[in-house]
Amino acid sequence: MEIRVLRYFLAAVREGSITGAANHLHLTQPTLSRQIRELEEELGQQLLIRKSHRIELTPQGVLFRKRAEEIIAMVDKTEAEFSSMEDTISGDIYIGGGETQAIRQVADIMKELRDSYPDIHYHLFSGNAQDVTERLDKGLLDFGLLIQPADISKYDYLNLPAKDTWGVIMPKNCPLAQKAFIEKKDLLGVPLICSRQAILPQQTGNEFADWFGEDFEKLNIITTFNLVYNASIMVEAGIGYAVTIDKLANTSKDSVLCFRPLSPQLDSGLNIVWKKYQVFSPAAELFLKKLKEKFSD
């Protein structure tokens, strides 16, 4: 299986047709068709359903697209790391994390390094703890920024001094907005829009479920999300109240939304993690050094 052919396959999927991909790749249509057909024969699976003017992925094709994207991402990352191994430190650093204000502290380090090493480039991936650790394990990320609770036992990590405060986003004109804090009883019987971090299986350690207690299963959770921007739009539309962390959605005086913290207060710790025994590129090694200087106890 050749990397070149994986790129051909992904181009065909992206363009939605063999002809369009062939034009993009500066290949003839028969040549590209043959390459993809040989790939299917090698795998022993049909990847594409060929129609008159377009193609569709088979279920096997959907899985293969994901694997091909991961392989290509790893190849590109490896090539970038080796091309940066010169006297002048340069290269790419891949960071994943959930939505949190703690990214500001990481951004300060990024800015400091960029000022001294302008050839260092950063790539950010947003996702929940499961998304981030999966990409860390596959080598697609160098570092992960995790909001607790998260299993960090198999990683090296640093504790960040910041904490995220949990609460509820709601319209300013709703009755709950008159309260300074939101108590457990306020959340029973109202439609809730919850971050996936808030409803993790309790066996993994769920701070929100622990905070709420034995009636957690009685909550009317109608929607889950992993991007607060999308959740805030649903709140504006009157779908429900969003349980999330503070300072991510626009709740300024000009916004129709407001944030009210939970009472008793619920805070989540934060960690920046990386694989144990990870061999870093020079750029990532320098970034780690700066992280330790700033965040080591």
Predicted local distance difference test score (pLDDT) of residue 174: 94
Residues in the chain: 297
In whole angstroms, what is the distance from residue 241 CA to residue 187 CA? 9
What string of DSSP letters covers 90-130? -EEEEEEE-S-TTHHHHHHHHHHHHHH-TTEEEEEEE--HH
CA distance linking residue 222 with residue 193, whole number of Å: 6
Euclidean distance between CA atoms 270 and 158, whole angstroms:
9
First to last CA, the chain: 47
Regions of the chain where pLDDT drops below 70: 83-88, 197-206, 297
Q: Read off the pTM.
A: 0.65
Other C-beta atoms within 10 Å of 241: how many? 25
- Give the pLDDT confidence of 184-206 residue by residue, as tens digits: 999 998 999 987 766 665 444 56
Q: Taking the CB of residue 294, how many other CB atoms lie within 10 A of it? A: 15
pLDDT at 85: 60
Cβ atoms of 231 and 198 within 8 Å: the answer is no
